[in-house]
Structure 1
Amino acid sequence: MSGFTFSDKKVLIVEDQRPFLVLLRGLLNGLGASSVKTAQHAEQAVVLCKQNQFDMVIADLHYGSDRKNGFELIEEIRTKKWLKPNAIFLLISADTARPIVMGSIERRPDDFLVKPFSQAQIKSRLIRAWLKRQFLAPVYFAVSKDQTSQAIETAQSLLSQPSQYKRHCLQLLIELYWKNNQPEKAMQLLKNDESGQQSLWSQIAMGKTLIALKQYDDAGTLAEQLIKKNKFCVEAYDVLAESLSAKQEAELALDTIKQALKISPFSLQRQYVACRIAREHGDYPLASDTCFSIWELSKRSVHQSASHWCSYIRSLLDAAQFAEDKRGKNRFQQEALLAMQRSKFDESLGRLTDEFDFSIFEELVHARINAIDGKLIEAKRNLAQSQFIIDKSYETFPAVYAPDSVYTLFQIGEFEQGQQLINRLSSEQTKLDPNSQYAVDHATKDVSDVHQAYQSLNQKGISLYQEGKFSEAKETFQQAQKLAPVNTGVALNLLQCLLKMMNNKTSNKVDAKLVAECRSVYKLIDGMPMVGQHLEKYDSLSEELKAILD
């Protein structure tokens, strides 16, 4: 502790209980701190952190149900870099419930202190956290600049030095290897660390690294051993769930991740993992529950986004689509529609109007519901209307509408438009949260066989048409249409083929059967907004179509 003093530290205290705030400020003043600012809630603290360069932040966990909590405060000021990389954050709380304590630790404050505490206790905790943070500061500064390679090099250098913080430096370096997608280096480091191999953190790190290396049996065995020693070791349940899921042991994987959520439900990352595992193994009600938790955990945090709420609605529609019976399907559809209605009064969603237009998403939801119910024409109209408004209102495609647009396009068989949108998202470098990315990735996977068969038939029809084999081309396009009944591209191809067949008739008599077929196909595209090649082809056919159909 030599050389340490509170007199040159800028301190922020965040506490909603006035008596305790005054007491805490008195304790800090008594330790020699003269520059002490106070805030009575997290929102006020965020403003102060934007305006000041604090060295220490001491924050309570709870400020009321309608305000940010200490979890959300530390995430926001760290993520937005409103707290210096070498500044410390001490979280304090009188709440000793296990989920709260676990959630606090998982937010990585520099320390967590349970109320009540003495001046001696807070002094020792602050000094200990400060000295550790200063030793590791060069690494944190590199991380804050997104210089991962430099951070790794710096951590390696610090690790080679004699220090009481060697264990913390090792942990930081291993996490950097994970971040840099170098699990093999993390594993080598763990194997070389003979002195710490029996520590809980080291064994958890080993388990996570084994998962990254796809050594699922070894990861699962290690996790089971840790759980036997400590039934509340939540990260061991995480590792075991990932291992079981990868080995397709669905029931055990689902039970294990549910246990992890029960022990520590306030981790956004754990909720994402649980949602993925639930979807991969067909537990759509669990996926819906986790999506709702993600929305609740994020809506007052730095991670707030309308995408999380949209993912919740989408999860209910997933549950409806894959329900075992009609009753289940109707129940989840109604739940989705009721959630939509309730959201109109949700202030958290209302604050996100800059990135979210409720009416557009409502069209997408109705498109999805109609698709689930087999009403493909109605679904196509809803979808076309939403895409028209999006193209008119935004220069780049908003991430918040992307998953439902892509997914429903593929579900109704508009494969070309769906792929074009995926390509657009890629070219515009659209960032998607894990749930949204999952929906986009699986849009193509869920219908891959149908998509490939459709593409083969449509391409065969085009080749036959180019060879002048119009009757065979028509039959082939009709086969493709059975796979994608409302697809605009094949409808236009079929119309073009039918018109060519009518024009090639030697008799002047109109072929009533071909006209009826033409009229039936035309209904699929009548009034639908079109762009690009589809619009060009439609314009080239429109005069002939009008002459025949009128």
Structure 2
Amino acid sequence: MVNPLQRYKSISVLILDDFSEFRLSLKQMVESFGVHHVDVCTNAEDALSCYSEHQHDILLVDYNLGDGLNGLQLLAELNHRNLLKYGTNYVLITGETASDLVMGALEYRPDDYLAKPFTKTTLKSRLDKLVEKSLAFKPIYTALNQDKPKTALELCDQLMAKNKRVGIECLRLKAEIYLKQLKYVQALSIYNSILHKRELSWAQMGAAICHLALSQSDQALSLCKLIATKNPQAVEAYDLACECFIQQHDFEAAYAITQKAIAASPNSIVRQRQLALLATRYNELEIAFNAYKRVMQLAKYSCLAQLDDYINQLCVCTQIQLTDQTHFARRAKKEYPAIYRTITKLYPSVQSQLAVEVHQIFVEYLVNKDGAKGEKLILVVDKIVDYPDALNSAFINLLEIIMKHADIEVVTAKLDPIITRGKAKIISHEDHEKSENFNQQGMVKYKEKAFESAQGAFATALANAPNNPNIALNLLQAAYQLHKQNQKFTLTKRQFALSLNALKTLAPHDHRHKQSQSLLNFAKAKLTG
């Protein structure tokens, strides 16, 4: 066993803070513990470079670092680049007390979290625990850093045999090794062995991840509910539950659980992105608009930023412009220049520049649909036709909006095959077989005059094929008949939004158009009345 007075001699520490007084204070504290190697940095970029060179044992990082990456974004960047070594302890330090900031900090899973102000005694107590664990697990961490998972697993077994006090931690690490190797059955076996003895939230979460990966979404969902019941702030459980609902094609439940997670912890790019995508699906454009705005704020300096976020925000703003004539539409249009600048600066690829060019010309065309503007649109569409690589999903969505609203036959003829091919390659949330099965069930129940059951079946069918006007009509008709039968109107706003979107495709001369407008007007009156 290492002498407690000597354990810090071999430890290296990196301190990152933009205030000189606090940096000096921290440096003096850790040096008083016996640390010989201390590096200090004032910004995240320098810290990245310094850590890459020295691979410190402990990182003491302040959350607020002025311009550039903050402490959380640095942690995300290190993980994203696969730079953070096993055995490195990342300690986040912050003076922030707002619950959403604290939740966001904890979600990134630093090894510890210190709130200012703190004493030297508190810091030493926290670091002692981290260093003790690191020393005990050092051979295992070394094997993992050398990409020798089999050796690491054997060393875990040896350590458990020698030291029963670290048994749970060894099992946890073994399960995480199996997870990283995508060996879900082995990982699940370990998590279940732990849960058989103790109800630990991290083991429940690990087991839920395994169940979902094995397409066992019901079991995963049950575990997520257990975690959330015990800890309503366990947003990771909400996120995983959302994935379960999406796997089950229950997008309404996925949307609801994502909104619940956002309320608890809004500072997550991935969660805000999911909210925006689901809100767009239900045509709740203001929610989608605000979620993408938040994504862009959080994505500044972040490795988690994506080109699709900016193109999808162009899509949302365009839909608002086309369907809303209030101040909100004017506000949405004002976003275009900033989005163009960001795309041009951060994503200088041919495809991203094409997306900006075609959108700019389309917006000009909407203002004045003269021949010259139409010709410009046709010319840029020709460039897209000649583009040799596959288009990303957001660009396909943008082109579909342009095709539907340009009213130029040549543009439609050129874009239609591109969109059809692109959508065939995109992994879709739609499940047409499931949709057809539920539609058939709904029709049976409708004939039996069991309108409540019929409405439920049609709602599930539409969620799995949201662009099908026939299913939308079936759903509205069932809701109408149920209302006539017992004066209850149970269609939700989201079901109405899906129906409205699906029925927009019906031309005025279509025999279903008149009935669809009548049912939509009835439903709208009931929902707003």
Question: Which bin holds the TM-score, normalised by the shorter protein?
Answer: 0.5 to 0.7
Q: Distance in 2 between matches of 1:220 and 1:98?
A: 26
Q: 2:287 matched to which residue of 1? A: 286
Q: 1:45 matched to which residue of 2? A: 47
Q: Deviations over 1:255-303 (max 9, x none)?
A: 3221211212223333344344444555444333333322222221223
Note the residue ranges of structure 2 that are not aligned, 5 or more in a row.
405-411, 433-464, 470-504, 506-529
The residue type equivalent to 1:10 in the other structure is S
For the 8 Å contact 1:89–1:110, the answer to whether it is kept is yes
For the 8 Å contact 1:275–1:286, the answer to whether it is kept is yes
**CA spacing shift, 1:294–1:379, aligned 2, 3 Å:** farther
For the 8 Å contact 2:14–2:60, the answer to whether it is kept is yes
Q: Distance in 2 between matches of 1:16 and 1:408?
A: 46
**CA spacing shift, 1:77–1:406, aligned 2, 3 Å:** same
For the 8 Å contact 1:140–1:151, the answer to whether it is kept is no
Q: Distance in 1 between matches of 2:335 and 2:216?
A: 41
The residue type equivalent to 1:385 in the other structure is V
109-118 vs 165-174, which moves further: 165-174
Q: Number of residue pairs matched?
A: 426
Deviation at 1:245, TM superposition (A): 5.0
Q: 2:206 matched to which residue of 1? A: 205
Equivalent residues in 2 for 1:399-478, closer than 5 Å: 402-403=395-396, 407=400, 412=412, 414-418=415-419
Task: Determine if the alignment matches structure 1 residue 2 to structure 2 residue 8.
Answer: no
Q: Distance in 1 between matches of 2:365 and 2:170?
A: 53
Equivalent residues in 2 for 1:290-439, closer than 5 Å: 290-317=291-318, 326-327=323-324, 334-343=330-339, 351-352=345-346, 354-355=348-349, 360-366=354-360, 382=377, 384-385=379-380, 388=383, 402-403=395-396, 407=400, 412=412, 414-418=415-419
**CA spacing shift, 1:256–1:401, aligned 2, 3 Å:** closer
Q: 1:535 matched to which residue of 2? A: none
Q: Distance in 2 between matches of 1:319 and 1:174?
A: 47
Q: Distance in 1 between matches of 2:143 and 2:294?
A: 33
Q: Distance in 2 between matches of 1:312 and 1:389?
A: 20
For the 8 Å contact 2:16–2:47, the answer to whether it is kept is yes
Q: Deviations over 1:155-202 (max 9, x none)?
A: 465156414444344344444544554444333222222465411222
Task: Determine if the alignment matches structure 1 residue 226 to structure 2 residue 203.
Answer: no
**CA spacing shift, 1:22–1:237, aligned 2, 3 Å:** same
Equivalent residues in 2 for 1:518-529, closer than 5 Å: none
**CA spacing shift, 1:182–1:320, aligned 2, 3 Å:** farther
Q: Deviations over 1:18-74 (max 9, x none)?
A: 22111111111111223222122223323433444333221101123x331100111
Q: Distance in 1 between matches of 2:7 and 2:280?
A: 53
Deviation at 1:360, TM superposition (A): 3.2
Rg (Cα) greater in structure: 1
Q: 1:109 matched to which residue of 2? A: 110
**CA spacing shift, 1:273–1:170, aligned 2, 3 Å:** farther
Equivalent residues in 2 for 1:186-205, closer than 5 Å: 186-194=187-195, 197-205=198-206
Q: Distance in 2 between matches of 1:144 and 1:403?
A: 41
**CA spacing shift, 1:194–1:256, aligned 2, 3 Å:** closer
Deviation at 1:82, TM superposition (A): 4.5
Q: Distance in 2 between matches of 1:215 and 1:274?
A: 24
Q: 2:73 matched to which residue of 1? A: 72
The residue type equivalent to 2:383 in the other structure is F
The residue type equivalent to 2:25 in the other structure is L
**CA spacing shift, 1:397–1:230, aligned 2, 3 Å:** closer
**CA spacing shift, 1:239–1:379, aligned 2, 3 Å:** farther
Q: 1:151 matched to which residue of 2? A: 149
For the 8 Å contact 2:343–2:352, the answer to whether it is kept is no
For the 8 Å contact 1:139–1:152, the answer to whether it is kept is no
For the 8 Å contact 1:364–1:383, the answer to whether it is kept is no
For the 8 Å contact 1:11–1:35, the answer to whether it is kept is yes
For the 8 Å contact 1:13–1:37, the answer to whether it is kept is yes
Q: Distance in 2 between matches of 1:84 and 1:132?
A: 15
Q: Deviations over 1:490-520 (max 9, x none)?
A: xxxxxxxxxxxxxxxxxxxxxxxxxxxxxxx
Q: 2:16 matched to which residue of 1? A: 14
For the 8 Å contact 1:390–1:397, the answer to whether it is kept is no
Q: Distance in 2 between matches of 1:170 and 1:253?
A: 32
For the 8 Å contact 1:71–1:104, the answer to whether it is kept is yes
Q: 1:460 matched to which residue of 2? A: none
The residue type equivalent to 1:73 in the other structure is L
For the 8 Å contact 1:103–1:267, the answer to whether it is kept is yes
| TM-score, structure 2 normalization | 0.65
The residue type equivalent to 2:380 in the other structure is Q
Q: Distance in 1 between matches of 2:319 and 2:140?
A: 43
Q: 1:60 matched to which residue of 2? A: 62
What SS is found at the alignment partner of 1:309? helix
The residue type equivalent to 1:236 in the other structure is A
The residue type equivalent to 1:68 in the other structure is L
Q: Distance in 2 between matches of 1:205 and 1:52?
A: 32
For the 8 Å contact 2:143–2:151, the answer to whether it is kept is no
Q: Distance in 1 between matches of 2:393 and 2:56?
A: 35
The residue type equivalent to 1:327 in the other structure is D
Q: Distance in 2 between matches of 1:276 and 1:173?
A: 35
Q: Distance in 2 between matches of 1:292 and 1:153?
A: 46
Q: Distance in 1 between matches of 2:430 and 2:403?
A: 10
What SS is found at the alignment partner of 1:193? helix
**CA spacing shift, 1:350–1:5, aligned 2, 3 Å:** farther
**CA spacing shift, 1:262–1:289, aligned 2, 3 Å:** same
The residue type equivalent to 1:342 in the other structure is A
The residue type equivalent to 1:388 in the other structure is K
For the 8 Å contact 1:366–1:379, the answer to whether it is kept is no
